């Protein structure tokens, strides 16, 4: 069995996540402590006690990076790993780079904190919006967003699976696009509870500011291929890694294409390391020949270890 390890992004967070693993492994606490020290913020307290703070982009990003990496570290200490590739959805791409040893964890936490801050400040609070569109073809969604663009910026930004695309932009334009998409036959057009319209052109100024932070960090090439969101390809050098991370702020997440790329590399299974089961669910919609599982507690950890051992 060839497998890839994938890491979730924003939207998979919940209060008390990883509590079962934390009761059984000191790695969770140690990892969150290191992350908290990097930015002088008590991330474990936020993750367990303050939903409003947890949902702020500048907090969500370091919390989710710490959660995904801690889960991966537990798995890697319980069994020798040899993934064919790694990937992460949006913020999860940073977790993949840390797990693949392309990026130092301490540096990554500081970097995604900055990423969250520049994204948060790029658009006035309440001016942006995102919505999940279910049950329409990608091309039709792109077309209807263009039709709605006279109301402001609105773009298709997350191609999560066939029939599940997220749009983002200015609030009025997103609302209008949702109306057009419902008229076109969308099963649902669900406005998401997020504070930032990620991965759309409204983030270009934030990306320019973020570029300086990315350039100041040391990256390394590693043997494990990390599939990037912006083009569903892996980087051939460090400059490519950096430029793809900057572009990711204002370009769509090509998750469907990323999963199909992993399949093309011969992968049979995706292992999701981190809170929730979002990516595992998407995998089945993208390619039914792929199996997927999520590590969310001790039982799912044990079954994942058994599966890898028996492969």
Which residues are tagged catalytic? 90, 199
Q: Which residues pair with 6 in a beta bridge?
A: 87, 272
Q: Which of 292, 308, 309 is nearest to 8 (CA)?
A: 292
Cα–Cα distance between 137 and 27 in angstroms, integer?
42
What residues pair up with 103 in beta bridges, in sequence order?
219
223's CB contacts (< 8 A; 6+ apart) are: none
Query: Which tokens go with 273?
Result: 């390391």
Three-state SS string over 7-24 comes to ECCCCCCCCCCCHHHHHH
């Amino acid at each position: 069995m060839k497998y890839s390890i994938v890491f979730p992004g924003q939207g998979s967070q919940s209060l008390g996540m990883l509590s079962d693993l934390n009761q059984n492994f000191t790695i969770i606490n140690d990892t969150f402590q290191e992350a908290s020290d990097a930015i002088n913020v008590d991330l474990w307290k936020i993750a367990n006690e303050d939903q409003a703070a947890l949902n702020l982009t500048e907090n969500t990003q370091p919390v989710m990076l710490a959660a995904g990496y801690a889960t991966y570290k537990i798995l890697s200490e319980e069994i020798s790993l040899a993934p064919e590739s790694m990937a992460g959805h949006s913020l999860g791409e940073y977790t993949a780079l840390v797990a693949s040893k392309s990026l130092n964890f301490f540096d990554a936490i500081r970097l995604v904190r900055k990423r969250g801050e520049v994204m948060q400040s790029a658009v006035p609070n309440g001016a942006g919006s995102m919505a999940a569109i279910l049950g329409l073809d990608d091309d039709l969604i792109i077309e209807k967003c263009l039709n709605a663009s006279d109301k402001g910026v609105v773009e298709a930004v997350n191609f999560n699976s066939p029939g599940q695309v997220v749009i983002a932009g200015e609030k009025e334009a997103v609302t209008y696009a949702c109306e057009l998409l419902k008229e076109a036959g969308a099963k649902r057009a669900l406005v998401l509870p997020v504070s930032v319209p990620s991965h759309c052109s409204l983030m270009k100024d934030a990306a320019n500011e973020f570029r300086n932070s990315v350039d100041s960090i040391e990256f390394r090439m590693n043997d494990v291929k990390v599939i990037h969101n912006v083009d569903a390809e892996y980087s051939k050098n460090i400059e490519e890694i950096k430029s793809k991370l900057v572009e990711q702020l204002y370009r769509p997440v090509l998750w469907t294409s990323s999963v199909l790329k992993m399949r093309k590399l011969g992968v049979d299974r995706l292992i999701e390391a981190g809170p929730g089961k979002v990516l595992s669910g998407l995998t089945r919609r993208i390619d039914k020949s792929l199996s997927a599982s999520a590590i969310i507690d001790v039982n799912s950890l044990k079954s994942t270890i058994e599966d890898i051992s028996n492969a």
